[in-house]
C-alpha cells in the first residue's frame, strides 16, 4: 500500500529549530512533486511549501520564507522540512502530501506530525 | 493574493439530505479546483479534482461543478460517514490556497 509517514514533530521553545521527515513507500518517489501542509489546532489547512521532482525548484508561503526549507532525498524516498526561528504561530499538525502531477491535486497524504512551539 | 471563500462555514443536515457547499475564488482558477474531506484527527482525503472529476474510490453521491470563480460540491444523499469538514483548494496559482472549510454536522 502506498503511504507517507511523517516524523520529527515535538514541543520546542520559540526561536528553536526542528526537522520534519516524511518517508514514502510503495511508489516511485522521485516521479512526484510534494508539499507540506499544516493545520493549527481547530483551524483550517494552510499550504506551507512545495518541491518539484529534482528538488531544484521550491516554493513557500510568505509567512515561512527565510525560516523553513523544504528538501528531498530521492535515493532514500524521503521529504524534509527544516524549520528554524520557530514562532508560536507555527504550532500545527504538519502533513506531507503528494501531488498527482504538476498543477493538479494532493492525492496522497501522511497521517501528520504535531509541532508545538511554546515556552 | 488568491482567496477562496466557502459557504456556509457550517451546516447541519440529516441523513438522506442533499447538501451543496460553494467555493468562490477571488480570481479565476479555470478548473484547477479540488475538494477534500477531513474527519477529526485524520488527514484530508481527496474527493473531487479538476472541479468535477471524482477521485477513484469515492462514492458517486459526491459531485463537483463549476469553473472560473464559482464552484460547488454536492452530496446527493447524506450518509452517516459524510459528517466531516470539507475544504476546497486551488492549484492555479504558484502559492496554493485552501478555503476556510465547511463543517457538516448531524441535525
Give the range among A65-69, A91-95, B62-66, B91-95 with minimum mean pLDDT.
B91-95
Q: For residue A97, what is the DSSP state?
A: E
Contacts with B96 from chain A: Cβ below 8 Å: 35, 47, 50
Chain A closest CA to B76's CA: distance in Å?
Answer: 23
Question: Distance, in angstroms, between B44 CA and closest chain A CA?
Answer: 7
Per the prediction, chain A carries an average pLDDT of: 97
**pLDDT tens-digit map of B10-41:** 999 999 999 999 999 999 999 999 999 999 99
Residues in B touching A100 (Cβ below 8 Å): 49
Interface of B with A in 42-101 (CB under 8 A): 42-46, 49-50, 55, 87, 89, 91-92, 94-101
- C-alpha A8: how far from chain center: 11
Judge whether A47 is closer than 8 Å to chain B, CB to CB: yes
**CA A80 to CA A77: how far, in whole Å?**
10
Residue A77: strand, helix, or coil: coil
Q: Are B93 and B106 in contact (CB under 8 A)?
A: no
Q: What is the mean pLDDT of residues A19-39?
A: 97
Nearest CA in chain A to B42: A111
Amino acid at each position: 500500500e502506498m503511504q507517507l509517514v511523517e516524523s520529527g514533530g515535538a514541543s520546542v521553545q520559540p526561536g528553536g529549530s526542528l526537522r520534519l521527515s516524511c518517508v514514502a513507500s510503495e511508489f516511485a518517489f522521485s516521479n512526484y512533486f510534494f508539499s507540506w501542509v499544516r493545520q493549527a489546532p481547530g483551524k483550517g489547512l494552510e499550504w506551507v511549501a512545495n518541491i518539484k521532482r529534482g528538488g531544484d525548484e521550491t516554493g513557500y508561503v510568505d509567512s515561512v520564507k527565510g525560516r523553513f526549507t523544504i528538501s528531498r532525498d530521492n535515493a532514500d524516498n524521503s521529504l524534509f522540512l527544516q524549520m528554524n526561528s520557530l514562532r508560536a504561530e507555527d504550532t500545527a499538525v504538519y502533513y506531507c502530501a503528494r501531488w498527482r502531477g504538476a498543477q493538479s491535486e494532493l492525492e496522497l497524504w501522511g497521517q501528520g506530525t504535531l509541532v508545538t512551539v511554546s515556552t | 493574493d488568491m482567496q477562496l471563500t466557502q459557504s456556509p462555514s457550517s451546516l447541519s443536515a440529516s441523513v438522506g439530505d442533499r447538501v451543496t457547499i460553494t467555493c468562490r475564488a477571488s480570481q479565476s482558477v479555470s478548473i484547477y479546483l479540488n475538494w477534500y474531506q477531513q474527519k477529526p484527527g485524520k488527514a484530508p482525503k481527496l474527493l473531487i479534482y479538476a472541479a468535477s472529476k471524482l477521485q477513484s474510490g469515492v462514492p458517486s453521491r459526491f459531485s463537483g461543478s463549476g469553473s472560473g470563480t464559482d464552484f460547488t460540491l454536492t452530496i446527493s444523499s447524506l450518509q452517516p460517514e459524510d459528517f466531516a469538514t470539507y475544504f476546497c483548494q486551488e492549484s492555479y496559482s504558484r502559492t496554493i490556497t485552501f478555503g476556510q472549510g465547511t463543517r457538516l454536522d448531524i441535525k
